[in-house]
Amino acid sequence: MAESGEGIGNVPEHERILQEIESTDTACVGPTLRSVYDDQPNAHNKFMEKLDTCIRNHDKEIEKMCNFHHQGFVDAITELLKVRTDAEKLKVQVTDTNRRFQDAGKEVVVQTEDIIRCRIQQRNITTVVEKLQLCLPVLEMYTKLKEQMSAKRYYSALKTMEQLENVYFPRVSQYRFCQLMIENLPKLREDIKEISMSDLKDFLESIRKHSNKIGEAAMKQAQQQKTFSVALQKQNNVKFGRNMYINDRITEERNEIVLKHTFEEEDENEEEVLTVQELVDFSPVYRCLHIYSVLGDEETFENYYRKQRKKQARLVLQPQSNMHETVDGYRRYFTQIVGFFVVEDHILHVTQGLVTRAYTDELWNMALSKIIAVLRAHSSYCTDPDLVLELKNLIVIFADTLQGYGFPVNRLFDLLFEIRDQYNETLLKKWATVFRDIFEEDNYSPIPITNEEEYKIVISKFPFQDPDLEKSFPKKFPMSQSVPHIYIQVKEFIYASLKFSESLHRSSTEIDDMLRKSTNLLLTRTLNSCLLNLIRKPHIGLTELVQIIINTTHLEQACKYLEDFITNITNISQETVHTTRLYGLSTFKDARHAAEGEIYTKLNQKIDEFVQLADYDWTMSEPDGRASGYLMDLINFLRSIFQVFTHLPGKVAQTACMSACQHLSTSLMQMLLDSELKQISMGAIQQFNLDVIQCELFANSEPVPGFQGDTLQLAFIDLRQLLDLFMVWDWSTYLADYGQPASKYLRVNPNTALTLLEKMKDTSKKNNIFAQFRKNDRDKQKLIETVMKQLRSLVNGMSQHT
């Protein structure tokens, strides 16, 4: 029952599948048939039974339909067979009729074709004439275009192309030759662009080669204008008596002659200067600009031009490696830069938009930074002040030229202040050599004069005032030849420094300040250094050192005249609040102190040389009865030296004398206490005492005036008290009064006395072999030993106290 129920349920499903197979396309039967196999088992067999039943039903229906229509089909075939005979007869008749018509119309057809052919030819001729009349202007314009291209009239050719494209080509655009012409125009435009660009490249190459000439002409013109303005201003100042700089050597008549000569030279040179338009043909630029403007590609042209010019600017700004060696190297560098920017300024003013003010300012700022870096680097190699001065003049002309074209040049003048410091350094080095040569050539003797003419010659070189020198001749100036020469060279240095300050657009106050500062550097650094080096030279003796001190005194006094000299140049009063003073006082004071110290050193060295000649017999039993020869020679030398010191300031001579006596006293004391000296006899002490007496007599003779009382003799007080102690053998008093302010032997050190006493003890032992058999000698030895013990106690007490 279950199976029969299941089979009944599948029958409607099989009918549905059969309907889908009959109604759907054969391509979509696959999914429908697949559903048969996806159903319950044995569904396939049941579906096949159902399919066979459906096929048998359809076959029965087909058979019924064929039986129904079969008689009509037979009747139709019979009718067609009857009509076939009539149709063949009709076909024969139509063919015959057509043949007869064809034969009858052959002649008409021939004539008609001739007429048609003639009319077509006539129409074609008319059309051709009309088209030719339409094409002739196009061909004429195209011919004109070719002629313009051949004649290199590219701008006109571009205008002709515009007319062809806008007016003529639209009329004949349907013709092939027109299409060929239209296709050829872009090529012609490109050719024009290439040709014009080639002309531009030639132009750029030309101005690169002519930059030096252009810059030279522009700088020359600017220099002439400036010279003319300055000359005119000077002429007005001369006329109204308002000279900016006081110069007693130039008279008004000479000024007028110089100005007249300047104007004449200006007129002559003015004819020779060529303008930038005369030196350079700018037509390629104008042509190329117009061509690219017409082509609508002006931006490309502008970018290319600016890019190429920037490349040229970098090449122009690149200096030669040896530029700093000659002024011509700097001149070439400046002229090519000026030439570059003069061309750019011309392009800026005669074209619209090719270059702009912002572009030129940017280019100038870039160039200015490079120029300053180059000049700063190369000028540092310049060691010749004349070359630095010429460089400064070139920079001023360079700056004035470009300022005339509207370029800012303040940074160049700031650079000039840096170069000014370098210029001053080169001047200082040059003048250091000049000062050294002057000192080498000086004889360090007072300047002798035999008559008034020689006196006036010296006075014209150096401001010295002494009424006594004017009265009678021959006489001597206190200073040596180097003093007027130094004074003249300082003035020359001021003139040289002033040359750099000219044309810097600075006020008189600033120029005055610059001159004073540079002069101070000359005095405090260069001259002072030369003086110190001179003083320290081994061959400079005491006489020369004395003369150097005298020279520095007069140079110091002359500084006020140098200040007046600068004031006369700048017209700035010394009473102005911000006026810099000359440091001559400190400069020459330092040199004098160094010379004084060198005098003390050399004097002590000379004393040491004499002391080294001493040849004492430290074991002598009796003195010679007279002072040692070396000491007398030393005293005579000191007397002669101190005679020379009379020209020195009193304090210097007194200090030198006191220093010499103290050094001599110290040297004699060291001679007694020398560790290599093992024994001293009483006879040697007495001989040494005679030498010290001579020293005291020398000190008492007042070799240098100005000492009060026995001040100079105090230099030998240590020796005197020590020798008195040993000569008198007053040990009881020394030991009793030791440490008392009123002690007779206050300056005798126990350690010094002990050292000398030990040397005398050793001598007594060696010289008196039988001293132990004599009572006096035994007592003396005991006394010495007792004194030595007490002295050792004092020395030990001093050590513990310390």
Question: Cα Rg for the chain, rounded, in angstroms?
Answer: 64
Tell me, what's the pLDDT at 580? Answer: 66
- Count the helix, strand and coil residues of the chain and give each as a percent rounded to the nearest 5: 80, 0, 20
Residues lower than pLDDT 50 in the chain = 1-9, 237-271, 577, 768-773
Segments of 403-500 assigned E as strands: 448-449, 475-476
Sign (positive or negative) of CA dihedral 355, 357, 359, 361:
positive
Sign (positive or negative) of CA dihedral 165, 168, 171, 176:
negative
The pTM (predicted TM-score) of the whole model is 0.66
Query: In whole angstroms, what is the distance from residue 510 CA to residue 571 CA?
Result: 12
* Distance linking the first and last C-alpha atoms of the chain: 147
Segments of 338-403 assigned E as strands: none
Contact 329, 323 (CB under 8 A): yes
What interhelical angle do 559-570 and 482-501 show, nearest 10? 30
Over 207-248, what HEC string results? Answer: HHHHHHHHHHHHHHHHHHHHHHHHHHHHHHHHHHCCCCCCCC
Tell me, what's the pLDDT at 433? Answer: 93
Tell me, what's the pLDDT at 453? Answer: 86
Contact 163, 141 (CB under 8 A): yes
Q: Which of 395, 409, 411, 373 is nearest to 500 (CA)?
A: 395
Tell me, what's the pLDDT at 98? Answer: 87
Tokens of 556: 């110091």
Query: In whole angstroms, what is the distance from residue 559 CA to residue 551 CA?
Result: 13
Query: In whole angstroms, what is the distance from residue 577 CA to residue 292 CA?
Result: 66
User: Which residue do the tokens 């370029």 mark?
Assistant: 407
Q: Which of 378, 400, 401, 403 is nearest to 391 (CA)?
A: 378
252's CB contacts (< 8 A; 6+ apart) are 238
Contact 344, 405 (CB under 8 A): no
User: Which residue do the tokens 């002409």 mark?
Assistant: 217
**pLDDT, tens digit (0-9, with 9 covering 90-100), for 373-415:** 988 888 888 888 888 889 888 889 999 998 888 899 888 888 8
Secondary structure letter of residue 621 according to DSSP: S
Tell me, what's the pLDDT at 670? Answer: 93
Pair type for strands 475-476 and 448-449: antiparallel
Q: What's the gap between Cα 655 and its chain centre?
A: 52
Residues 32, 33, 38, CA angle at the centre, nearest 5°?
Answer: 95
Tell me, what's the pLDDT at 235? Answer: 59
